[in-house]
Structure 1
Amino acid sequence: MKKKLFAVLLVLLMVVSVTGCGSGNNAGTTDETGGKKETKAKETVVRWNSGTSGNVLMTIAEEKGYFDDENLKIEYVSADANSDAMTMLATDKVDVVSNAGTSNPLQQIASGIDLTIFGGHMVTGCMPVVAKKGTKWNGPEDLIGKKFACNPSYFAFTGAIMDLGYDEPLEAVEWVSFTDYNDALAAVVRGEVDYALMGTGQNYTVQNMDEVEVMCYQSDIMPNYSCCRMESQTKYVEENPETVESILVALLRAQSYYETHKEEAVKLHAEKINAEEDYVAAYMLDEHYNVNVDPLKNSVVRAWGILEKTDFLDEKAKDTDIEDHVNTELYTNALKTATEKYGKDDPAFYEKMQTFYDENNL
């Protein structure tokens, strides 16, 4: 009897011991074959606005499973305009905005909204300046005294005019603003304006018109001008640094893939945004279209200075150090992590990204 009781107690002790080891850490469970099965950490949902044109690096990161590898789930939040996206960010209805330009977040920061730029989407969009066919173009000096359909908060052009020696760029050019690029294009055709800046999405239309031709691209006027930055509320970045780094790692891998698979990227992104491949290829395969995850701090600081000089920032801007709103540390960490884990797959890419970072942030 005592032997049976001892045997029962021994079995119970073994069960308790095994159960105790299992509950002491959540590293995994045991499958039917007795092997260890890893338990996946809880998925992180990121509410993201990527504009109506989308973000090709996000498209690739989802398609290739890079977000999955980082345990991220992207919840797309739509907005009708850049201003709407920024309002949603300021009111905590979205976590990340990546396609609302650079002047929009800078103007929000200047008005007192606490945002942090931590990465990028487009360094330069494929944004052509068009004029009637046969117009000669020498450079930004041709804009002086002319009617230019362009919002003067596009700092690349006001900056270029100031570089020509004009202290008042808003007076040196007759700026004409349209809410729609197609209306600006029509104004060129009718002769109501001399030049017009087009959005990246207008390339296909412009390339198939006989009445107009491309004079230059915005990136010819100001290299690496910073087209679209990635930003969040500062509180979100400070409370979720691991999530932000994971986003950047996934997008870095996507950029590496994109740069050697652009034809495939056109197909993937066209399907993602429900557009024709020819429409996407018209800008994505152009040399002026440049996507990069880098935060591009130096260009952001330059843009802030131009916007301040041209009175497109709130008066509070003079008391704001814009560098306090650009976080390069998380990108540096992400680049290091991505290089260590995936650098062997494309060493030249990661070396190039480090050089690019050094040139544009230090």
Structure 2
Amino acid sequence: MKKRILAVLLVSAMVLGLAGCGGSSDSSSEEGKQEETAEESKDEGSPETTKIRWNYGTSGNVMVTIAEEKGYFEDEGISIESVPADANSDALTMLATGKVDVVSNAGTSNPLQQIASGVDLTIFGGHMVTGCMPVVAKKGTVWNGPEDLIGKKFACNPSYFAFTGAVMDLGYDNPLEAVEWVTYTDYNDALSAVVRGEVDYALMGTGQNYTVQNMDEVDIMCYQSDIMPNYSCCRMECQTKFLEENPNTIKAIIRALLRAQCYYESNKEEAVTLHAKKINAEEDYVAAYMNDDKHYVVSVDPLRNSVERAWGILDKTGFLDENAKEINIDDHINTDLYEEALAEATEKYGDENPEFYEKMQTFYEENNK
């Protein structure tokens, strides 16, 4: 806008100057050239904001890790400032108050609950589609499916909509009564409760995979993605105002992360090493979930359909503010910028791996239309 105002002022000065010298016949063409230059500058697509304050939790975001390590953000003219938070709720509070620009590791329920309460956020991309979150029980327990949860003690916050949704699919109108949900603030406490026999099952976080895979006392029954495919583990969101004021920045973020996802899918072993170093963890710890291609899936795609499904389940189970009845969740999911960025990345970087970009286009059509 400043460039456009400057261009107009320059044009005005030229018109006045030329009129005083008897050169008025050229003023209109000169004005047109100046306005055309201003428009070209406006449409260059340069990021409006070049430093993005980002919270990606203590577990990090492997696509961000790769995009920083390989210089993909730099290629797009942006840089990332990591802003830590103690919990998902803290990250979203910082987002709502403008202390961070982007959050990518706060799940899906949390941002949806914020939106329902009146916070103006927009989901524009994604991180984990499925987060390799195992359900564990005492060793020797037989698992038949989500029907085994009925009437049992399940250490899981019922706002994890994959499970309440699955219980409703079994025909139970009130999943909160069909299962005895026991909530712990720490996954390790939930794990201990299984070992002590205080609960029948417990949902574990992504970071507990290494621990439970090496325990003799428990067995993994299933993973959350077995209960609900593409359930949407973590979305990428920002304030709606930030997105509206920085569309080129948002697209630059997406293009860089698409390249990072492409690299990740072809270089898993290196990705494990890079990410372990980034989050100061042992490689075995990261490999325990990242090498599970079936249950650990990352994607920049916004997953509109999955977010809409989550919103509906959370509403039916009472985990959204009453204000949600007046909100169209589609107004808080922006897929247009992702679609544009995907097309731009395909044109700009598609030769690096044509099959990947074709796959991402197909995935987008399947999960957002």
* Cα separation, 1, equivalents of 2:72 and 2:196: 48
Tell whether 2:314 aligns with 1:307.
yes
* Cα separation, 1, equivalents of 2:151 and 2:291: 34
* Cα separation, 2, equivalents of 1:178 and 1:221: 21
* Cα separation, 1, equivalents of 2:77 and 2:281: 29
Contact preservation (8 Å) 2:60, 2:279: yes
Give the C-alpha shift of residue 87 in structure 1.
0.4
Q: TM-score, normalised by structure 1?
A: 0.88
Give the C-alpha shift of residue 41 in structure 1.
8.8
Give the C-alpha shift of residue 345 in structure 1.
1.1
Aligned equivalent of 2:192: 186
Tell whether 2:302 aligns with 1:295.
yes
Tell whether 2:351 aligns with 1:350.
no
Letter in 1 for 2:87: A
Tell whether 2:254 aligns with 1:248.
yes
Aligned equivalent of 2:135: 129
* Cα separation, 1, equivalents of 2:367 and 2:90: 29
Contact preservation (8 Å) 1:124, 1:290: yes
**CA deviation map 1:270-290 (0-9, x unaligned):** 000000000000000012000
Contact preservation (8 Å) 1:124, 1:225: yes
Tell whether 2:341 aligns with 1:334.
yes
Aligned equivalent of 2:22: none
Contact preservation (8 Å) 2:49, 2:249: no
SS at match of 1:294: coil
**CA deviation map 1:190-238 (0-9, x unaligned):** 0000000000000000011000010000000000000000000000000
Give the C-alpha shift of residue 344 in structure 1.
1.1
Distance 1:150 1:43, change over 3 A: closer
Give the C-alpha shift of residue 43 in structure 1.
7.2
* Cα separation, 2, equivalents of 1:267 and 1:183: 29
Tell whether 2:175 aligns with 1:177.
no
Q: TM-score, normalised by structure 2?
A: 0.87
Pairing partner for 2:101 from 95, 99, 113: 95
User: Which one has the largest radius of gyration?
Assistant: 1
Contact preservation (8 Å) 1:43, 1:73: no
Tell whether 2:231 aligns with 1:225.
yes
Tell whether 2:55 aligns with 1:49.
yes
Aligned equivalent of 2:367: 360
Tell whether 2:57 aligns with 1:81.
no
Tell whether 2:54 aligns with 1:59.
no
* Cα separation, 2, equivalents of 1:313 and 1:42: 34
Distance 1:57 1:41, change over 3 A: closer
Provide runs of 4+ in structure 1 moved above 4 Å: 40-43
Distance 1:108 1:43, change over 3 A: closer
Which ranges in structure 1 are unaligned for 5 or more consecutive residues? Answer: 1-24, 26-39
* Cα separation, 2, equivalents of 1:60 and 1:334: 18
Letter in 2 for 1:343: G
Tell whether 2:328 aligns with 1:321.
yes
Aligned equivalent of 2:218: 212
SS at match of 1:80: coil
Contact preservation (8 Å) 1:123, 1:290: yes
Letter in 2 for 1:344: D
State the identity as a percent: 80
Pairing partner for 2:286 from 280, 303, 316: 280
Letter in 2 for 1:321: N
Aligned equivalent of 1:270: 276
Contact preservation (8 Å) 1:123, 1:291: yes
Number of equivalences: 324
Letter in 2 for 1:67: F
Pairing partner for 1:196 from 196, 202, 208: 202
Aligned equivalent of 1:14: none
Aligned equivalent of 1:36: none
**CA deviation map 1:161-199 (0-9, x unaligned):** 000000000000000000000000000000000000000
Which ranges in structure 2 are unaligned for 5 or more consecutive residues? Answer: 1-36, 38-45
* Cα separation, 2, equivalents of 1:273 and 1:42: 29
